[in-house]
Chains A and B, each alone.
Chain A
């Protein structure tokens, strides 16, 4: 393969720091109305029924209903002002429902917002990944470093809950020494080269699919895995998210309450002038236009780019050099697909397998003509979707 730059995702030990509580948080909800005060762990109601998975991470007052953009999708949120010593939901009524017996993991998980019935019933292979998906993100490897002593217990618990004999665990090569002992304890440890795009779930699963004879694998990030284990024991959901914040001064890992707006994180990291605020890695991330965007489960990293580092969009003609094809992890003919897309021949790009594109961004990274290849692919994908909608 012709690779000019390697995206090594090997980061040094950066302790996860806690940052002070923000002035307000934004909690994504789907269409509820009303107001009042909330306690930690309160399931948010939609008229009479409970909205699944929406649990207040802090206790406070609902101040406002508004719309923000999370990864480009318009989302309803509520603005909650925190109140000190607001009490917890565990203190009163909910406690009575929980069966005191240790074995009632299912109910505890359900209470914590994890609805995993499908996983309990099916015999899918569970793959836990400690390989970070994007460059400039060291959340998974840092959690592996900090939790390496508890991993064995967690895996044992997980196997018990889900009734599995074996769990697959993908770890970056440089941290393999920390966990190799797990291999003798019913955990199938994969060694993965920590280079983009090896950590992307699709690539990770497919590269090991044949080798480990996986059947309908279920992918879990290490953080999700730890949270599920935690929730199964305590019966309380996790309200915090670990994120990597990178700017010109380097990377730091912080733990924030879910729903913390980006401007609080920037203020805490003492970042004042910015060009782009990117959530989710420099190659696949979304550049935000609103700093009220809250941190969600999907936010792994925040990358702040200054004006001088920004790649300016140009759209030169394709020179057919073939670098995009050489670097495509799923071997697409990117040059043809994007030229079809450029000239509105979307059906032809569909014939070339455009639906396999995982939008890793490597084609546009290497393109010497500076073409916005990912954007052209997204255009073709959405146009194909529209066409299919019309046919139906």
Chain B
């Protein structure tokens, strides 16, 4: 009789990287459909280009770095879709290709592939593009040729240029259902929340980071609001504009670059939220989510040390030792 041997456990839950990435992609689907509805083939072009280049560059880079390509696990597809959500629909071809290539190359593969990246790969590519070609990523300019049926004035630009009193013109309901200009999918607030809740229910992400991210944004904005209501926008405005929602559920929860310890996750989320508001108020940038998360990624190894350590087992002697 032929017997097979192996190390325990002899059962497996059946979870796999492929299933996790599929869940992430399903989580982005509502926002993706919303973007296709608004921008049509222009959005489809950016998304398809991102996914194709992400897969292609991952395969080529793994070949060059002599890494094991392994079975298809969908991580490049997810990375491509997530990257495209942050871009405006009018992004030129070369910008999209360059950005997603840098995400895969500098964001992930240079460190050894999935699981080894110290920064969220999407944010690395996005930060390079934002710092190098800000005019191509200007959401106000990108939306002038569309008839979207609402005010094509980015609420964050309005806050920066016209002050907090002007922001009362944006109704929170309109912002919440995604009637604001921004990236392809990053401002579809309610659709991202639906996707985020799906991820929480499927236990793909934990609740700590999203919750404390939101608390950080609301808390910090509330402090500024309390100091001077005429200079600083209300907390809900900060929460419902820009990349906060996509950052909360998708960007900051990247497995490799966020802490694995649960107290660490709370501080990480809180830090992301606080830094986002500080960037928006104190820096020249309109939206600071990308930089806030990148900075907090730096703290991840430190935050992982906050985990309480193992539970010490009490000494006990057991009946099996009796002879």
Contacts and interface: CB of A to CB of B under 8 A. Distances in A.
Contact of B10 (A276, A326, A366): A276
Interface stretch (B169-177, B279-287, B305-313): B305-313
Contacts, number: 185
Grouping DSSP codes into helix (H, G, I), strand (E, B) and loop, the A interface class, with mixed when no group exceeds half, is: loop
A286 B314 CA distance: 26
Contacts of B134: none
A368 interface: yes
A92 interface: no
A283 B13 contact: no
Interface string A107-145: 000000111100100001000000000000000000000
Interface stretch (B15-23, B186-194, B243-251, B268-276): B15-23
Contacts of B7: 313, 372, 374-375, 378
A220 B261 CA distance: 35
B1 A291 contact: yes
B161 to A, nearest CB: 41
A352 interface: yes
A333 interface: yes
A87 interface: no
Nearest to A280: B8
A9 interface: no
A159 to B, nearest CB: 17
A334 B267 CA distance: 21
Q: How large is the interface on A (under 10, 10 to 19, 20 to 34, 35 or more residues)?
A: 35 or more
A282 B11 contact: yes
A323 B204 CA distance: 10
Interface string B1-34: 1011111111111011101100000000000000
Contacts of B312: 353, 356
21 contacts: A2-B203, A115-B322, A206-B314, A224-B319, A276-B6, A283-B8, A283-B9, A283-B11, A285-B8, A305-B10, A310-B10, A319-B17, A319-B255, A322-B260, A323-B15, A332-B310, A356-B311, A356-B313, A362-B9, A364-B12, A369-B115
What are the nearest 7 A-B pairs in CB distance?
Answer: A361-B9, A322-B260, A353-B310, A220-B319, A319-B115, A375-B7, A368-B15
Given A219-B319, A361-B9, A368-B19, 17 more contacts: A2-B203, A53-B323, A116-B322, A216-B316, A217-B316, A273-B1, A282-B10, A287-B5, A288-B5, A317-B114, A319-B114, A322-B260, A330-B311, A352-B309, A356-B312, A368-B16, A370-B16
